[in-house]
Amino acid sequence: MARKGETVHLRCEADGDQPMDVTWKAKGSRIESDYEMRYSVKTTSLSHGSLSKLTIMDVSPVDRGDFTCIASNAYGQDRTTIQLTVQEPPNFPRNLHIAEQTSRSVLLSWSPGAGSDSPVTSYILQYKEASDIWHEHNPQLTVAGDRSVVLVAGLRPATVYHFRLYAENALGTSAPSDPLHAMTESEIPGGAPRQVSVEATSSQELHVTWQPPERQLWNGELLGYKIGFKRIGPVAEDEGPYNFTRIGAGMVNSEVRLSGLEKFTKYSVIVEAFNNRGDGPSCDPVIVQTLEDVPSAPPQDVICTPVSAHDLQVSWHPPDRSHLHGIVQGYKLFYEPVEERYEPGKRESKVTTATTAVLHGLKPFTNYSIRLLASTRAGDGVVSPVTFCTTEETVPEAPEKVKAVPSSENAAFVGWLPPHHPNGIVTKYTVHLRILEQGRELKTVKNPVAAHQLYYEVSGLFASKMYEAWVTAATRVGQGAGTSVIRLSPAPSSSVPASIVSFGQLVTVPWKVTVKLACLCVGKPRPSAEWRLGDLNLHHQPKMEINSDNTLIIMNVLRSNEGNYSCHVRNTYGSDEIMYFLQVQVPPAAPVLVVTSVMQKSVQLQWKQGDTGGAAVRQFLLAYRSVGEGGEAGEWDELSIEPGVSRRLLEGLLCGTHYQFRLAAVNKIGSGSASPVIDVTTKGSKPEAPKLEHFLQVNMTSVTLLLDTWQDGGCQIRAFTIEYRETAGGSHWKLVASSIVSQQSFILQALIPATRYALRVSARNPAGTTVAQYIFVTRSTIPGQHQHSSDHDLITGTGEESGSPFYMDTQVVIPAAVSAIAVVGAFIAVVFCLHRRPGTGAAAGIGGQGLDAGSGLQDATAALDNKHNAEQRERYYATVRKPAQLQSPGLERIPEYSEDIYPYATFHLAEQETMAGNPQMPMQQVFGYECCPVNSIQSKQCDPEHHLKTRSRAGRKSKPHKSESEEYDSLGSDSDTEQGTSSRTESSNHLDDPGPGAGRAGIHRPAHHSKFPLPHTRIKYINRAVTNF
């Protein structure tokens, strides 16, 4: 014997010769400890046999039964059986409900829990106010185990109480019963919400939390709260009235989020509580400011001025105050050279708090692109458009290359290339000639040369003297450094070998211009010259010509003209050649644009740039536009993206909207072709209307619309429009509200009791508008008169409804007529069956007729039903777990759970769905069995005794876990099952489940438990034992 949850050791000692095999079986099945996590088997060899120990961890009622130990060797086999009994505390009480109630007391009744063999010694009732939590110090009452009622006195009026009941026996305490909620009389709210706190959660959202008013000031059940907010301007005249948002009590956990507010703006917030009597006083205004955000505009009036060859001064004005959205913490400047000769992408930055900055250490006479942004504590704002600025000139570097070739007996040519960094506009070159005789300098001559000329002929040379030359370049600032010194000498005779004065080099030009490639040559006799593109001779080629000084002219160059151009010269005494590589820059090719992810309000784009056109990409231009449902496209919006970036998250898009995207790259030549247009639809759809029973809470003169039950389709609902009319003679819709935002519920008041209404609700989000029409009937002031689910209907659509009333629609009338005929036929059949089966009583109450349960419960119910406001009581005593069930002594038991329904037990559940969906259904509507036709087979199926036998052949599943918030108990109704009918029959081959209290952890129970001894058993020939822990 063991208690539930303990660890049990079953010991089996067998005598015999080795080798011996010992196995275990549970209920006829072999135990495989490798697969059964709770089982472990350990076998030890003894001198006279083997000892096997089976350990069962966390034992539960499913382990009840016989465990067989089988020992076998080469000479035979023997076995023994150990019967394991698992004890557990009693099941929790069922059907805790209200029998009577006053403003200061509640009479509770219940049914004992089923399935426990040990008698209940006492019941422990715990109760608390709704605002309290369950803990071990809650008030509690102890009742003798033979009683099923208790009077709880000393309660406060207008207060909601929670009750739960425990059963106790010698083995311990049960799990708590299903919690019961009850409320005493109500009055008018008299206090403001407490501890109102407003916290800015973002730049456009405030999180408002509060605690309800003092409980004694509620004076009734609060229906909800009104949250008012208004903008606080610099002067009082700028302040307007409060904007109110109304939410229902219980819809939220005393909190609301106000969204769509202005950034970094002060707001005044108040909270009021209200009930069916009106609005209570408001709390003291709470002043709070929304959080900072990044600036939404760049700095203005950006001006750049060169200070020197290495410095630029930049000044600007802050963004407009309406776009700052915070306190400016500083500015960031991004700058980089634009010229191709510098490495692209080497962007530098500078941070400053002033509105002016000087950029130091720049390249002389270089064009810089400058962009800047403002920063707040929230981050960096929008980057300004590019501003270009060029540093001042300075002296140039030395010409890149220099050489000298003799041209006659008394002359020679000096050629050079321009400086790699001219640091300005070269105004002239100077050829410096130094004359030496016997190693001694005689004089130095300076020969100025025009800036466009890259050679100079020095004449009057003598073979008896030595000459040295070098070249310098000059800008308007001054002359730069000179080249290296080269030797200069005339030809030794009148015969001069062919030589080229010009230099071959890389020539980069934009497309559609004329290019000149120089090939100045000397020699006697005059050399012959030839231009080639690879192996192709370029004489007489289209768009090409060679002038008299052997310069190749290519007109309107295109990308196809790129290549290696060589000039070859030759005469009798020698030859020479130079090579040009011509690179033609064109606009970049279209990038390959793809979409990597799509969200509700953003799209992640990624691209790959192929051919840049021979020039660095300076920026990407991303264009996008929205496309309407009819295919009409809007204007393209263009976004500039800096180079070096290959992905972009485009945010701020509309949810559920069709967009088109294209991307183009830009280099120094211009903008290239755009990528093919990509069509993308952001995630989200139109709002989805909820079911009527989830959306409406109908009372006598009002209906609460739970707006937060609408599914937004992934796109935030922007506004609700609410209209209503009476269905009888109401031809015009009455507009209640046209733009409800940031509201979780809405109360439509001033309705007429027991009246049929049509309600039309339109919900709009960026993906579109959904229109839903609901038909409902307000509650009646006459006690006992209730509406059925057939009184309500839901019609959804996106278009306008037709003008014909619902009762003229054949799709409504025909099904209604068929349903009415079926109901009448079913009623006649039930009455016939009841007359044929005496002693069963009234199986189902129709039209307010209840069952005779053979107890005082019916009298209490009848007395309470005569009270005024019956509907209000039903609201507070509503059952969650299941509809009301009463048991007549002559009726067999109705199964408690869906698992208890077997194919051999038939009964009628026509009203179950209706009552489960409407907790306010009257107690008189009770389920009964469907009557059986008079024949032997079906009569046997309806026999209570046969029903019990059928149940014994079926397995039993665990009861689902119940939470405190699952149910409210109707006055006089059952919270779980009827008293005295919770019989569970099982055969010897079936084990009971752990009980309905399994899985009900996390709830405080009374802190006292009973103990029982731990038995030990040993049996020979095969010894066995059970050990509990």
* CATH class in words for 194-289: mainly beta
Helix (H, G, I), strand (E, B) or coil at 923: coil
pLDDT at 1011 over 50: no
Q: For 660-683, what is the HEC assignment? A: EEEEEEECCCCECCCCCCEEEECC
Span 302-310, average pLDDT: 95
CB contact set of 965 (below 8 Å; sequence gap of 6+):
none
The per-residue pLDDT for 901 is: 39
Residue, of 829 and 787, whose pLDDT is higher: 829
The per-residue pLDDT for 583 is: 94
Helix (H, G, I), strand (E, B) or coil at 99: strand
8 Å CB contact between 484 and 369: no
pLDDT at 942 over 80: no
pLDDT at 986 over 60: no
967 token code pair: 């149910």
| Single-letter amino acid code for the residue at 834 | L
pLDDT at 749 over 70: yes
The per-residue pLDDT for 1013 is: 36
439 token code pair: 């190693």
Q: Is the dihedral of CA 771, 772, 775, 776 positive or negative?
A: negative
**402-492 shares the fold of 194-289:** yes
The per-residue pLDDT for 545 is: 93
Give the pairing type, strands 536-537 and 544-546.
Answer: unpaired
CB contact set of 911 (below 8 Å; sequence gap of 6+):
844, 883, 925, 927
Helix (H, G, I), strand (E, B) or coil at 128: strand
The per-residue pLDDT for 1027 is: 54
Nearest Cα residue to 434 out of 422, 424, 442: 442
Rounded to 5°, angle at Cα 200 from 194 and 204: 125
8 Å CB contact between 541 and 561: no
The per-residue pLDDT for 700 is: 85
Cis previous bond, 61, omega within 30: no
Element holding 872 (H helix, E strand): helix 870-876
Q: Is the dihedral of CA 199, 202, 203, 204 positive or negative?
A: negative
CATH number of the domain located at residue range(s) 2-87+1013-1028 in this protein: 2.60.40.10
* Position 334 confidence tier, pLDDT thresholds 50, 70, 90: very high
Give 765-818 pLDDT, tens digit per residue: 888 899 999 999 998 876 555 555 455 666 555 443 333 444 444 455 566 777
- The DSSP string of 329-387 is -EEEEEEEE-STTSPTT--EEEEESSSEEEE-SPPTT-EEEEEEEEEETTEE-PPPPPE
pLDDT at 252 over 80: no
8 Å CB contact between 241 and 292: no
pLDDT at 597 over 90: yes
CATH number of the domain located at residue range(s) 692-797 in this protein: 2.60.40.10
CB contact set of 24 (below 8 Å; sequence gap of 6+):
10, 12, 30, 31, 41, 52, 54, 67, 68, 69, 70
Fold of 402-492: Immunoglobulin-like (2.60.40)
456 token code pair: 């100079």
Helix (H, G, I), strand (E, B) or coil at 1022: coil
* Position 878 confidence tier, pLDDT thresholds 50, 70, 90: very low
- The DSSP string of 464-489 is TSEEEEEEEEE-SS-EEEE---EEE-
d(CA 363, CA 390): 9
8 Å CB contact between 967 and 178: yes
The per-residue pLDDT for 438 is: 79
The dihedral over CA atoms of 108, 110, 116, 121, expressed in degrees to the nearest 10, equals: 30
Fold of 512-582: Immunoglobulin-like (2.60.40)
860 token code pair: 């209490």
Distances (CA, A) of 138 to 127, 134, 161: 6, 7, 12
Give 456-511 pLDDT, tens digit per residue: 999 998 888 899 999 999 999 999 999 999 998 898 888 899 999 999 999 999 99
pTM exceeds 0.75, yes or no = no
237 token code pair: 């005249």
Specify the range with the lowest mean pLDDT, choosing from 121-135, 206-220, 359-373, 663-677.
206-220
The per-residue pLDDT for 186 is: 67
The per-residue pLDDT for 116 is: 61
Give 663-701 pLDDT, tens digit per residue: 999 998 999 999 999 999 999 989 999 999 889 989 888
d(CA 257, CA 264): 16
8 Å CB contact between 881 and 94: no
* Position 629 confidence tier, pLDDT thresholds 50, 70, 90: confident
* Long-range CB contact pairs, 799-806, < 8 A, 24+: 799/771, 800/771, 801/760, 801/773, 803/731, 805/727, 806/727, 806/758, 806/775
Nearest Cα residue to 118 out of 64, 165, 172, 65: 172
8 Å CB contact between 860 and 970: no
The overall average pLDDT reported for the chain is 78
Beta bridge partners of 81: 68
pLDDT at 197 over 80: yes
The per-residue pLDDT for 727 is: 82
d(CA 153, CA 252): 32
Give 695-738 pLDDT, tens digit per residue: 998 988 889 888 888 988 888 888 999 999 988 766 789 998 88
The number of beta carbons lying within 10 Å of the beta carbon of residue 751 is 18
* CATH class in words for 300-390: mainly beta
CB contact set of 253 (below 8 Å; sequence gap of 6+):
none
The number of beta carbons lying within 10 Å of the beta carbon of residue 755 is 17
* Position 59 confidence tier, pLDDT thresholds 50, 70, 90: confident
d(CA 425, CA 436): 34
In percent, the amount of the chain with pLDDT more than 70 equals 75
Give the pairing type, strands 387-390 and 402-408.
Answer: unpaired
The per-residue pLDDT for 477 is: 94
Specify the range with the lowest mean pLDDT, choosing from 86-100, 357-371, 567-581, 896-910.
896-910
Do you know the residue count of the chain? 1029
Domain ranges within the chain, ordered by starting residue:
2-87+1013-1028, 194-289, 300-390, 402-492, 512-582, 692-797, 817-943
Specify the range with the lowest mean pLDDT, choosing from 27-36, 78-87, 702-711, 787-796.
787-796
